Amino acid sequence: MSLSWTAVSARRLDRNHLAATPGTDPASIATAMSGVHAQILTAGELSIGLRLPGSTNASVRSAIWDDRTLVKSHGPRGTVHLLPTADIPLWTGALSAVPTGRQLQGPDSRLTPGQTDEVVAAVGRVLADDALTIDELDTAVVAETGPWAGDLVMPAFQTMWPRWRQALSTAGHRGALCFGPNRGRKVTYTNPHRWLPGFTPMNGDDALAELVFRYLHAYGPATPQHFARWMAGPVGWANTLFARLTERLEAVELDGEKMWVNAGDTDFPDTAPEGVRLLPYFDGYGIACQPRERLFAGKAFERALARGQAGNYPLLLVDGTVTGVWHQRRSGRKTAITVETLTPLSNRQRGELEARAERIGEFHGGPATLELGPVTVGAHA
């Protein structure tokens, strides 16, 4: 089956709740997107809000901290994500089964596998009924394990961090740690069992298979290499994973390249994607959709990526393809939005862009202004 880029884009937009089918609640959107990147929490909140009519930043935050239908934790690539609380068993099972990459620490400073296990267990215990800042967690973990965990061996931000922090994201992947509500300006950590009591991580093989199916549903067709990039796993591992699932996948072709969809999931729209959309930093659509050269076509490949890396600029999408970048500056309740377009907009598209800007203002709880012109803010580091 040979697919066109327009058909692929139209289906991805719809399945990401960016087209005709809006989301129903924050958790369902996070499920559809296979997690919402939230390294910048306000950007993650906006990713959900732009897919959920009538929502505000307060209502999305309530889903995290009050209703607890979302959990803020370490997700794919070790980065912070908003994940559906009901899917914690799936994500912890899958993420803890992804092969680890190259060791960033030297032999004298890294944790041994046994020490990693000890740290993760200690983190789970000290956070079982509490939320601690990172400094409080330093003290508690060292008290639970031993002085070796507190050795200042990790260079970080012109200082040194204790040895145990190498296992911070590992503790998240294994289900021992997630983020708690901020204490003033300080981040806190807690145990996800407080969100979903008594959960057990899924079997790793089963969880990874389910994650492949969800990824292909939202962002397919795709190759094992695309999945490996999204998960920050080895390509050989992804090849083996897809080979194991061959009977549940179906081969298609996009631009002459063999790719995969879920078996039987071969319905694609007959109409081309239409519409103007503004996506915030690290929105999953810009990160997970491949081939990247197709999504970031022409000038966008240089302007809207940072050395080939997606997510570092908020994106202007026109008819399913990146055609510019944008920036928002907030002052009190007001939001000033600047959009830099790489291709001219029609009058209809300009009107739709104005409506998208107004929606962002509504999400933040105030008015928004729109200006077309150069975005002078650099890539987010």
CATH number at residue 212: 1.10.10
Q: Is residue 345 part of a domain?
A: yes
Average pLDDT over residues 121-136: 97
Q: Which residues of 14-49 are buried (b: 16+ CB within 10 A; e: fewer)?
A: ebbbbbeeebebbbbbbbbbbbbbbeebbbbbbbbb
**Whole-number CA gyration radius for the chain:** 21
Average pLDDT over residues 100-125: 85
Q: Is residue 24 part of a domain?
A: yes
For residue 103, pLDDT over 80 is answered with no
Q: Are residues 170 and 303 in the same domain?
A: no
Q: Is residue 57 part of a domain?
A: yes
Q: Are residues 145 and 285 in the same domain?
A: no
Pairwise CA distance, residues 338 & 353, whole Å? 11
Q: Is residue 377 part of a domain?
A: no
Answer with the one of 169, 194, 219 that is the final residue of a domain.
194
Q: Are residues 360 and 236 in the same domain?
A: no
Average pLDDT over residues 47-56: 95
Q: Are residues 155 and 176 in the same domain?
A: yes
Burial class (CB in 10 A: 0-12, 13-18, 19+), 106: exposed
- The pLDDT, as a whole number, for residue 22 is 79
Q: Are residues 134 and 248 in the same domain?
A: no
- The pLDDT, as a whole number, for residue 381 is 53
Confidence of residue 23 (pLDDT cuts 50, 70, 90): confident
Q: Are residues 326 and 248 in the same domain?
A: no
For residue 104, pLDDT over 70 is answered with no
Q: Is residue 336 part of a domain?
A: yes
For residue 109, pLDDT over 90 is answered with no
Q: Are residues 169 and 256 in the same domain?
A: no
Average pLDDT over residues 332-340: 96
Does the bond joining 89 to the residue before it have cis omega, within 30 degrees of 0? Answer: no
Which residues sit opposite 326 in a β-bridge?
Answer: 339
Q: Are residues 243 and 346 in the same domain?
A: no
Confidence of residue 158 (pLDDT cuts 50, 70, 90): confident
Evaluate the CA torsion angle 332, 335, 338, 339 in order and state its sign.
positive
For residue 201, pLDDT over 80 is answered with yes
Answer with the one of 194, 217, 241 that is the final residue of a domain.
194
Q: Are residues 17 and 96 in the same domain?
A: yes
At 96, give phi and psi (nearest 5°): -75, -10
Which helix or strand (DSSP H or E) is residue 328 part of?
Answer: strand 321-331
Q: Are residues 162 and 236 in the same domain?
A: no
Domain that holds residue 327: 276-372
Q: Is residue 271 part of a domain?
A: no
Segment among 69-73, 75-79, 216-220 with least mean pLDDT: 75-79
Q: Are residues 224 and 290 in the same domain?
A: no
Confidence of residue 108 (pLDDT cuts 50, 70, 90): confident
Which residues sit opposite 251 in a β-bridge?
Answer: 260
Q: Is residue 268 part of a domain?
A: no
CA angle 55, 290, 52 (to 5 degrees): 10
Q: Is residue 199 part of a domain?
A: no
Segment among 92-106, 183-197, 306-320, 323-337 with least mean pLDDT: 92-106
Q: Are residues 28 and 73 in the same domain?
A: yes
- The pLDDT, as a whole number, for residue 102 is 64
Answer with the one of 174, 194, 214 that is the final residue of a domain.
194
pTM: 0.94
Q: What's the structural domain count of the chain?
A: 3
Which helix or strand (DSSP H or E) is residue 207 part of?
Answer: helix 204-219
